Structure 1
Amino acid sequence: MTKTGSSTPVLLELTAAPPRWKTRWSRPLGRVLDHVVYRTTVTGRTNIPTAGPVIFAANHLSYLDGPVMVGAASRYMHVMVRHDMFKGFLGRVLFASGQIPVNREGDRAALQHAKAVLERGDCVGILPEGTRGTGDAANMNSGVAWLALNSGATVVPVAILGTRIGTEHRDTIPRPRRQLQVVFGEAVKIEREPGVSGRVSMDRATEKIRVRLAAHIEAAAAITGQDLPADDHHTSKHKGQ
């Protein structure tokens, strides 16, 4: 834990990868959110490998995307969440449930914690667009590619639809009983390209994942009939989450 002043909220920090047992109650809570608070249709669970390390890479529309994905998946996962969410009651919940705080401006330690989770054969969830938006994966950071290349984990693209619709503001929390859609796509294996530099290999891997995720989101929207939201043209109060 760190505190920079008497009135500054305490931020919870990891000193090692979160243990597997902490996720044992986060998925049941996610399922309550999916199927009691909201009405969530889950498609493509058979695309999720039943064993071995998996990176779930999802689009980002709303605050709810992470917990909705956790509840929809057939495997437990540790989700990478913006570091300044780890304060107060919410921070204690995130910390206790094994989520990984990450500073999106650059956080090597968070990536190493996620890599350690994958190396023991577990799963990590990440929202690689980095900020809530239209959720079309037009842009994404290189975190997924770095983890995939350095851990050997399989990447499963995830389309989350309905957590924000129309012209709703990025800070909107949808009303209970809304219909949500979670669609897991075909798993993809990312490998280093021979004969190219590490930076080029990383850039190509990032673009390969982005294209795969974008195509999956577009197909999921067409199949489910749930459109992506319009850009609200407002800067979020919590840019980056």
Structure 2
Amino acid sequence: MLYWLMKYIILGPWLKLIFRPQVEGRENVPDTGPAILASNHLSFSDSIFMPLMVKRKVTFVAKAEYFTGKGIKGWLTKMFFVGTGTIPVDRSGGRAARAALDTQLQVLRQGNIAGIYPEGTRSPDGRLYRGKTGVARLALDSGAPVIPVVMLNADEIQPPGKLIPKIRQVKIRFGKPLDFSRYARMSGDRFVERAITDEIMYELMELSGREYVDMYAQKVKNQQATTSTTEPVEPIAA
């Protein structure tokens, strides 16, 4: 109930009025049946604008800590994620990725739409990074088509680290569904899962026009963090 109130009464109409979304290929999202929306990830606001442009509910998963914060800020954060259809998942420990995929698989088996960011984290610089194979396992285990979708300028509207978004027109593009039924019953084959993931990432690259980097985004972020903490400090001139 809260999801529909947020989307159609409280949040959705205002966001559409202010950011005037420009959407291409929305007809590629099926009206019924399970589907996986696989998106690039440029900004925190991706999880707001993209589901808003789909007639059906799009379910993402997020770490459980977002739902357990204290005080007014914690309550508002929880209400935001609940209102946008996000499911909390315990992402601590070695089975974190499996728990997230199992949750999304249940969404698909109920005939609904699951949203996923194959890169696993936001891009550190706007480029498209190597996809993790979880999206392939999800497609193989569910048999659902994968619809590639790209946020074209979300990093310009809300750059990483910025809380308040800039008022600019949101641009989103949905690609044609990808059918991986030719790989039926091959879930668990790491070569097949890598091939499927790479095909999805290629479509995201083509749709977005963004440069592709064959490296995991989280590794790049870790390298940047290490560099920033180990760089020598320039002495202050007297």
In which range does the TM-score fall when normalised by the shorter chain?
0.7 to 0.9
- For the pair 1:132 / 2:122, whether they are aligned, the reply is yes
Name 2:4's counterpart in structure 1: 24
Contact residue 48 and residue 84 of structure 2 kept, 8 A: no
1:165 aligns with 2:156: yes
In structure 1, give the amino acid aligned to 2:148: P
More helix by share: 2
SS at match of 1:188: coil
1:174, distance to aligned residue in structure 2 (A): 5.2
Q: CA deviation at 1:91?
A: 2.1
Unaligned runs of 5+ in 2: 69-73, 211-219, 226-238
Partner of residue 13, structure 1: none
Change (3 A) 1:152 1:195: closer
Instruction: Calculate the TM-score normalised by the size of structure 1.
Output: 0.72
Alpha carbons of structure 1 residues 198 and 77: separation in structure 2 relative to 1, 3 Å = same
> CA 1:123 to 1:195, structure 2 compared with 1: closer, same or farther past 3 Å?
closer
Q: Secondary structure of 2:149's partner?
A: strand
SS in 1 for 2:23: strand
Q: 2:171 aligns with which of 174, 181, 201?
A: 181
Match of 2:22 among 22, 41, 52: 41
Structure 1: which amino acid aligns with 2:146? Answer: V
Residue identity (%) = 30
- Distance change (3 Å), C-alpha of 1:151 and 1:39: same
Say if 2:202 is the partner of 1:211.
yes
Count the aligned residue pairs. 203
**Aligned 8 A contact 1:44 1:184 in 2:** yes
Q: Structure 1 counterpart of 2:12, which letter? A: R
Gaps of 5+ in 1: 1-20, 220-230, 236-241
**How far is the alpha carbon of 1:101 from its aligned partner?**
3.0
For normalisation by structure 2, the TM-score amounts to: 0.73
1:194 and 1:48 map into 2 onto residues whose CA distance is 22
CA displacement, residues 97-145 of structure 1 (integer Å, 9 cap, x when unaligned):
5312343973322211110110111001112212222444331222211
Could you tell me how far 1:202 is from its partner in structure 2? 1.4
Is the 2:33–2:112 contact (alpha carbons within 8 Å) kept by the matching residues of 1?
yes
- In structure 2, the CA distance between the partners of 1:136 and 1:117, relative to structure 1 (3 Å rule), is same
Partners of 1:191 and 1:137 lie apart in 2 by: 26
Q: Is contact 1:31-1:72 (8 Å) kept? A: no
